[in-house]
Amino acid sequence: MGVLLGYAGWIPGFVIDTNPGKYALYALMFLVGVSIGADHRSLSLIREGGFRLFLIPVATISGTFAGVLLMANFIGGVSLREGLAVGAGFGYYSLSSIMITQMHSEALGVVALLSNVIREIITLVMAPLMVLWFGKLAPISAAGATSMDTTLPIITSAAGKEFAIIALFHGIVLTILVPLLVAFMLTAFI
C-alpha cells in the first residue's frame, strides 16, 4: 500500500522530509525492549541454561556472517559491510529493514526486508529436511531471531518438544542482538 501511494506521489513532501520513521523506529526499539524485559521466560531460561545454550546463538551468528561474506564477495552489487548488515537481521525483517533504511539507504533496506523474509520462509518450508541433513539444531540456527515466535511451532514439530526451550532462548538472544549488530555493521570501521 505504501509503495503504491509513494509511487503515485499522493503523499505531501513534508511527511517524508520531517522523517517520522526515525521516531517510530526509536519507539519500536524501546517497546521491543519492554516486551523482552517483561518476558518471564528470559530470566529463568538463563538460570537453567548452562554454557552449551550460549553456543547455539554464537554458531548462528558466526555461520551467518561467514556465509553472507562469502556470497557478498561473489555477487557484487553489495559491499561486504552492506552484506553483513543485511545478514545481521537474522530473519527479524521489520526491525532490520527499517534500521537499514534509516541508517544507510532505501535500496539496502529493501534487500534486507526481502532477504530476511526469505530466510523465515525457507526455514518454515525446509525445517524437517534441515533436521534430517544437519541435525536437530539446524532449524533453530536457520530461524535466527524468529526461533522464539513465528518459526517456533515448526521447530518443535521437526526437532522435538525438548528443543522448544533451546529455540526460545536462541530467539530471545538474537532478538536483543539484531538492532545492536545491524547498527554495528553499518557504523563500525571494518
Partner 1 sequence: MIEVLVFMSGGILLGYLIRDRHQTIKVIEKLIMWCIFLLLFLLGLWIGRDPLIMSNLPSLGLTALVLSLGGIAGSVLLALLLWKLYFKHKQ
Per CB under 8 A, 6 contacts partner 1: yes
Tell the smallest beta-carbon distance from residue 143 to partner 1 (Å): 9
Per CB under 8 A, 16 contacts partner 1: yes
For the segment 27-86, give every residue that binds partner 1 (CB under 8 A): 27-40, 52, 55-56, 59-60, 62-72, 74-75, 77-78, 83, 86
Tell the smallest beta-carbon distance from residue 59 to partner 1 (Å): 4
**Grid cell locating 68:** 553472507
Question: Per this entry, what is the length of the chain?
Answer: 190
Tell the smallest beta-carbon distance from residue 126 to partner 1 (Å): 8
Location of C-alpha cell 519492554: 34
For the segment 86-145, give every residue that binds partner 1 (CB under 8 A): 86-87, 90, 94-95, 97-99, 101, 106-107, 109-116, 118-119, 122-123, 130, 133-138, 140-142, 144
Tell the smallest beta-carbon distance from residue 58 to partner 1 (Å): 8
Backbone angles phi, psi at 121, to 5 degrees: -65, -45
| Count of positions on this chain that bind partner 1 (CB under 8 A) | 93
User: How far is Cα 98 from Cα 5, in angstroms, rounded to an integer?
Assistant: 18
DSSP string, 19-35: -HHHHHHHHHHHHHHHH
Q: What's the gap between Cα 45 and its chain centre?
A: 21
CB of 105 closer than 8 Å to CB of 189? no
The CA-atom distances, in angstroms, between 34 and each of 28, 45, 136 are: 10, 18, 31
Rg of the chain in Å (alpha carbons)? 18
Per CB under 8 A, 12 contacts partner 1: no
Which of residues 11 and 153 has its CB atom nearest to partner 1 in the complex?
A: 11
Tell the smallest beta-carbon distance from residue 65 to partner 1 (Å): 7
Which of residues 62 and 157 has its CB atom nearest to partner 1 in the complex?
A: 62
Which of residues 45 and 99 has its CB atom nearest to partner 1 in the complex?
A: 99
Location of C-alpha cell 537453567: 48
